[in-house]
């Protein structure tokens, strides 16, 4: 090649890449390669965690150093794994890094979608959950995600055709991370005098996000497997269980019934109280629900959302069992095979069924419904109607057919779907004159609630036509609030509370003006259905007199309800 061509080539490179680009390319020499790869992987992890915590990751220096130590343990383990491929170790590392990037990036997308990391159980037991998530992935893509394409290009450039041996570097990194992790473990033992392994297992499972941040993927994953196969109780001592057990039971305030009524529990996806009794240019968002509220036995639009990382599955858990979920975990994945006392199995002699708009393996519905005492489930797998038209119309049509055919009395749980995020499209062509400052997502959400309302109205009419309405207690409530950020109204989010509506109960209450919690639903429904069980969940029935509600025993129960609930869940308390 002539000198002129070489000079032109250099000028061309400088023109395309710029001076900084030329210097950066020169930096990417083999002797720096592994160090740069390590830095890239660490940066990818830091990017993931930055989306999950509102405060800066380095706000607590010691915690941050521990986090870096266990992150290095993850990364150096990957480096060691690639070194097993000997002469192909560099290419193996390229492939493993691509898989690592997919893992981290999918968790970033999941955080943006569900406000939590992907539960470990989902990797081997929640394929349909991931399918549901991937079907709605466009709204969670950000320009910053290009970093992962760039990082893989750099890693391929550094390693693909290089013959350097990675074993020495990976061994040094692994040894350093083990030393740092061991220092923290020793320090923890000296300060607490307790089994460090059990403490870490407890932290990684009760504090899902914190556990993954503090101890990394590998340690948290080992902890998850141990927790799931150790009989659960790695947290509570016998003394603690005995103490909390004193506050599990409470009195009942049952309504005596001459004949048993069906119980129909309609759990509406992401239904907040905001759309209720709302009109825009004289067009009501929920005209059917508004009419039902006027004649409701109970109504509250101030129910506080207690769901956590399990979102919809947490709502079902609270309403069906009276328990509240782990504060920092997707509870149903840990407890799907627990023994529970539930609305379904405490209603002795009732036929129990559910209609769900998903596959039964989505969010562990099959195992969970079995544990909840629900014997018959209509889902995408056995309903061609729902499979072909997965919307609230098909859900309610299948439900009314099942209601007619099921032997009475029955308990029925209905899960809706049409108000599920993302809110990037409408389920109906109906147009409302919303204020200009409403985001597109809020407009679509309200329009989809209107669609839900029309289908719910048709279902109620069908219950009346088939002489099922008068002999059924019908409960309408939201499973959780629309997820954070999903309505794109950061400074003016109108959705703050959930609705709780009860129709046809033999006991009436005036409109409830004070705030209530989701865990009030279970004991209230037990009272309305005349169930005499001593166990009534961790909440307080709305039929409980104030004199009892403010007693020292009930005040203590209210104070301890998270501990009581977590103990029952983590020890599988009722499996005796």
Query: What does the alpha-carbon distance between residue 372 and residue 191 come to, in Å, rounded to a whole number?
Result: 42
Q: What average pLDDT does the chain have? A: 83
Residue 51 pLDDT exceeds 70: no
Long-range contacts of 173-180 (CB under 8 A, 24+ apart): 173/38, 173/72, 173/75, 173/76, 173/79, 174/73, 174/76, 174/77, 174/79, 174/80, 176/72, 176/76, 177/69, 177/70, 177/72, 177/73, 177/75, 177/76, 178/73, 180/65, 180/66, 180/68, 180/69, 180/72
Q: How do residues 289-306 score in pLDDT, each as one tens digit?
A: 999 999 999 999 999 999
Overall size of the chain counted in residues: 576
Structure tokens of 30? 């083999």
Q: How do residues 418-476 score in pLDDT, each as one tens digit?
A: 998 878 888 888 889 999 989 999 999 999 999 999 999 999 999 999 999 999 999 99
C-alpha dist (Å) from residue 505 to 254, 285, 299: 12, 26, 12
Residue 502 pLDDT exceeds 50: yes
Looking at residues 356-380, what average pLDDT do you find? 91
What pLDDT score does 163 carry?
65
Whether the model pTM is above 0.95: no
Question: Among 326-340, 436-450, 455-469, 519-533, where is mean pLDDT lowest?
Answer: 326-340
Burial of 325 (0-12, 13-18, 19+ CB in 10 A): buried
* 548: Cβ contacts below 8 Å, ≥ 6 apart: 251, 554
What pLDDT score does 38 carry?
84
What pLDDT score does 567 carry?
93
Question: Between vectors from CA 548 to CA 546 and to CA 549, what angle results, nearest 5°?
Answer: 60
Residue 288 pLDDT exceeds 60: yes
What pLDDT score does 188 carry?
64
Residue 339 in contact with residue 572, Cβ under 8 Å? Answer: yes
What pLDDT score does 165 carry?
62
Band (pLDDT 50/70/90 cuts) for residue 16 is very low
Looking at residues 250-273, what average pLDDT do you find? 90
Rg (CA), the chain: 28
What pLDDT score does 45 carry?
86
Map 338-358 to HEC letters.
Answer: CCCCCHHHHCCCCEEEEECCC
Residue 252 in contact with residue 527, Cβ under 8 Å? Answer: yes
Band (pLDDT 50/70/90 cuts) for residue 17 is very low
What pLDDT score does 27 carry?
47
Residue 316 or residue 83, greater confidence? 316
Q: How do residues 78-131 score in pLDDT, each as one tens digit?
A: 888 887 776 777 888 889 899 999 988 888 887 776 666 776 666 655 555 555
Looking at residues 406-420, what average pLDDT do you find? 96
Give the count of beta carbons closer than 10 Å to the beta carbon of residue 45: 22
Query: What does the alpha-carbon distance between residue 277 and residue 299 come to, in Å, rounded to a whole number?
Result: 13
Map 449-479 to HEC letters.
Answer: HHHHHHHHHHHHHHHHHCCCCCCEEEEEEEC
Phi, psi (5° rounding) for residue 237? -80, 165
Give the torsion sign (CA, 5, 7, 13, 16): negative
Q: How do residues 539-549 score in pLDDT, each as one tens digit?
A: 999 999 989 99
Residue 386 or residue 559, greater confidence? 559
What pLDDT score does 360 carry?
84
Band (pLDDT 50/70/90 cuts) for residue 212 is confident
| Residues paired with 249 in a beta bridge | 535
Full DSSP string of 97-135: HHHHHHHHHHHHHHHHHHSSPPPHHHHHH-HHHHHHHHH
| Residues paired with 279 in a beta bridge | 284
Band (pLDDT 50/70/90 cuts) for residue 35 is confident
Looking at residues 526-534, what average pLDDT do you find? 93
How many CA atoms lie within 13 Å of 134's alpha carbon, on the beta-carbon side? Answer: 9
Residue 515 pLDDT exceeds 50: yes
Percent of the chain, pLDDT > 70?
A: 79
How many CA atoms lie within 13 Å of 304's alpha carbon, on the beta-carbon side? Answer: 10
Residue 406 or residue 16, greater confidence? 406
Q: Which of 106-115, 183-192, 201-210 has the highest mean pLDDT?
A: 106-115
């Amino acid at each position: 090649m002539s000198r002129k061509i070489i000079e032109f080539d250099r000028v061309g490179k400088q023109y395309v890449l710029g001076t900084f680009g030329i210097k950066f390319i020169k930096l990417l020499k083999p002797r720096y390669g592994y160090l740069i790869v390590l830095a890239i992987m660490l940066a990818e992890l830091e990017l993931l965690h930055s989306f999950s915590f509102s405060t800066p990751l380095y706000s607590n220096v010691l915690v941050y150093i521990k986090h870096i130590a266990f992150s290095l343990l993850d990364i150096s383990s990957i480096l060691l794994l690639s070194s097993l491929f000997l002469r192909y170790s560099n290419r193996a590392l390229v492939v493993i890094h691509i898989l690592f990037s997919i893992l981290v990036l999918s968790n970033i997308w999941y955080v943006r979608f569900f406000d939590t990391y992907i539960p470990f159980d989902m990797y081997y037991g929640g394929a349909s959950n991931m399918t549901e998530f991937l079907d709605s992935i466009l709204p969670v893509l950000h320009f910053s995600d290009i970093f992962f394409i760039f990082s893989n290009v750099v890693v391929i450039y550094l390693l693909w055709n290089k013959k350097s041996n990675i074993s020495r570097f990976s061994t040094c990194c692994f040894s350093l991370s083990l030393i740092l992790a061991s220092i923290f473990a020793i320090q923890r033992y000296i300060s607490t005098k307790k089994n460090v392994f059990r403490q870490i297992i407890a932290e990684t499972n009760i504090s899902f996000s914190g556990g993954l941040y503090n101890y990394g993927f590998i340690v948290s994953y080992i902890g998850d497997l141990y927790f799931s196969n150790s009989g659960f109780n790695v947290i509570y001592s016998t003394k603690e269980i005995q103490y909390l057990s004193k506050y599990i039971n409470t009195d009942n305030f049952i309504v005596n019934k001459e004949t048993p009524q069906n119980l129909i529990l309609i759990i509406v996806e992401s239904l907040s109280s905001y759309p209720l009794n709302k009109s825009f240019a004289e067009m009501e968002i929920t005209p059917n629900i508004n009419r039902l509220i006027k004649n409701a036995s109970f109504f509250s639009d101030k129910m506080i959302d207690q769901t956590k990382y399990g979102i919809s599955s947490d709502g079902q858990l609270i309403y069906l069992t009276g328990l509240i979920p782990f504060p920092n975990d997707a509870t149903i994945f840990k407890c799907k095979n627990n023994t529970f006392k539930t609305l379904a199995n405490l209603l002795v002699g009732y036929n129990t069924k559910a209609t769900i708009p998903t596959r039964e393996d989505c969010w562990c519905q099959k195992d969970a419904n079995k544990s909840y005492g629900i014997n018959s489930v209509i889902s995408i797998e056995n309903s061609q109607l729902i499979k072909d038209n997965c919307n609230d119309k098909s859900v309610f049509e299948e439900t009314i057919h099942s209601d007619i055919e099921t032997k009475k009395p029955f308990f029925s749980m209905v899960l809706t779907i049409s108000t599920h995020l993302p809110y990037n499209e409408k389920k109906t062509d109906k147009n409302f004159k919303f204020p200009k400052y409403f985001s597109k997502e809020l407009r679509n959400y309200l329009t989809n609630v209107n669609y839900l309302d029309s289908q719910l109205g048709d279902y109620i009419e069908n219950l009346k036509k088939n002489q099922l309405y008068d002999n059924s207690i019908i409960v309408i409530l939201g499973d959780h609030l629309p997820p954070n950020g999903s309505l794109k109204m950061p400074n003016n989010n109108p959705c703050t509370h959930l609705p709780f509506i009860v129709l046809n109960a033999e006991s009436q209450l005036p409109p409830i003006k004070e705030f209530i919690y989701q865990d009030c639903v279970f004991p209230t429904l037990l009272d309305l259905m005349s169930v005499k069980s001593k166990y009534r969940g961790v909440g307080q029935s709305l039929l409980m007199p104030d004199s009892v509600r403010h007693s020292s025993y009930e005040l203590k129960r209210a104070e301890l309800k998270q501990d009581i609930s977590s103990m029952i869940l983590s020890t599988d308390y009722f499996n005796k």
